[in-house]
């Protein structure tokens, strides 16, 4: 067997949701490097145009669509358009996500629902929309972007933790329900990654010192640093490729070792 060839995504169509920048963009770039044709979406045309320009700057011809992943009709319309204009989706990455950091007893139910809608209901809607064609084609790959919060809780992230914990179980259920159709559904659980989503946790203090959460995360991470979005590229290509054909229902934590570590003793 040619093991390296097994990682190739040549001829595959990969749809990465919410991938104009951040983790989704880095995953798409890695998949393009591995040979895949890239499809992404964002909620507005100007954001899609910005995304297309960012891909072009990397030498990637990406296909961008306007679509809010919480809107089932819009998702179904985009799936039809992708099938017509690019091809059947072979690889889906449910990446689009939001977080609201609000203490639970101060959080309005509508804010809680919105996080669940984007981070949990949308991966259900988008997966449901692509699975039938994958079944017909004889297989496919779904990668759900989970979180440390698929395992842990912390102050202010009740909705996000509930959604990402649910996404871990949706991952296992898709694997259970559609594994017999040669569909592999796995999750990636990024650690703390430097993207716009986590920028408020890394903001410098008024006196120029590091944010206490920034110091906390670095001390909790054996790697001694925040992750970069590009750290997720290799794991994503692996889970999208034939190299992982017998890996199903797993969450691959890419966290610099956080989950293995009890944490540094305060000095
Ligand atoms: P980000 O920088 O905030 O990017 C999130 C992307 O999702 C943006 O492109 C955003 O589009 C898009 N999006 C949000 N709601 C959407 C909707 N309704 N429809 C379509 N697209 C939508 O976040 P990130 O840090 O790259 O995170 C990407 C994923 O990884 C998320 O699921 C996040 O929860 C997860 N994650 C992040 C970290 C981390 O440390 N950064 C760790 C673990 C997991 P706009 O252009 O409209 O903003
Ligand atoms: C937070 C962070 C996290 C990360 C990530 C960790 O406020 O704790 O935003 O939730 O974004 O999901 O894996």
Active site residue 160: yes
Find the 180 Cα to ligand 1 centroid distance in Å: 31
Spatial neighbors of 73 by CB under 8 A, at least 6 apart, are none
The confidence score (pLDDT) of residue 266 equals 80
What's the distance, Cα to Cα, between the start and end of the chain in Å? 51
Nearest to 102 by CA among 112, 117, 94: 112
Q: Write down the domain spans for the chain.
A: 3-198+226-257
Q: What is the pLDDT of residues 87-129, one digit of tens each?
A: 999 999 999 999 999 999 999 999 999 999 999 999 999 999 9
CA atoms of 92 and 140, how far apart (whole Å): 8
Cα distances (Å, whole numbers) of residue 13 to 1, 38, 85, 116 = 24, 6, 11, 27
Best of 15, 18, 39, 50 for a ligand 1 pocket test (most atoms within 8 Å of beta carbon):
18
State the catalytic residue, choosing from 55, 160, 178, 253: 160
Q: Provide the whole-model pTM.
A: 0.98
CB 251 within 8 A of CB 187: yes
Please name the residue whose Cα sits nearest to atom 17 of ligand 1: 68
Q: What is the pLDDT of residues 65-74, one digit of tens each?
A: 999 999 999 9
CA atoms of 165 and 181, how far apart (whole Å): 25
The confidence score (pLDDT) of residue 2 equals 87
Q: What average pLDDT does the structure give for the chain?
A: 97
Domain covering 3-198+226-257, topology: Rossmann fold (3.40.50)
Please name the residue whose Cα sits nearest to atom 27 of ligand 1: 23
Q: What is the pLDDT of residues 184-218, one digit of tens each?
A: 999 999 999 999 999 999 999 999 999 999 999 99
């Amino acid at each position: 067997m040619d093991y390296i060839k097994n990682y190739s995504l040549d001829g595959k169509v990969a749809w990465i949701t919410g991938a104009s920048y951040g983790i989704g963009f880095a995953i798409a770039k890695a998949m393009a490097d591995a040979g895949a044709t890239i499809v992404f979406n964002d909620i507005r045309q100007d954001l899609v145009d910005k995304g297309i320009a960012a891909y072009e700057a990397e030498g990637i011809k990406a296909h961008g669509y306007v679509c809010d992943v919480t809107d089932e009709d819009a998702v179904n319309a985009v799936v039809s358009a992708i099938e017509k204009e690019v091809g059947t989706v072979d690889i889906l990455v449910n990446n689009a996500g939001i977080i609201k950091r609000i203490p639970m007893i101060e959080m309005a139910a509508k804010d809680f629902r919105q996080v669940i809608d984007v981070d949990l209901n949308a991966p259900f809607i988008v997966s449901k929309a692509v699975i039938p064609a994958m079944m017909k084609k004889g297989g496919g790959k779904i990668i759900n972007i989970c979180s440390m919060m698929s395992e842990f809780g912390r102050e202010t992230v009740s909705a996000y933790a509930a959604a990402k914990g649910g996404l871990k179980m949706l991952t296992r259920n898709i694997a259970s329900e559609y594994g017999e159709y040669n569909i592999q559904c796995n999750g990636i659980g990024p650690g703390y990654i430097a993207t716009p989503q986590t920028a408020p946790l890394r903001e410098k203090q008024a006196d120029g010192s590091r944010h206490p959460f920034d110091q906390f995360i670095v001390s909790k991470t054996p790697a001694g640093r925040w992750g970069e979005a590009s750290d997720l590229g290799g794991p994503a290509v692996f889970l999208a490729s034939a190299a992982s054909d017998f890996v199903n229902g797993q969450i691959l934590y890419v966290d610099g070792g956080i989950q293995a570590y009890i944490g540094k003793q305060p000095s």
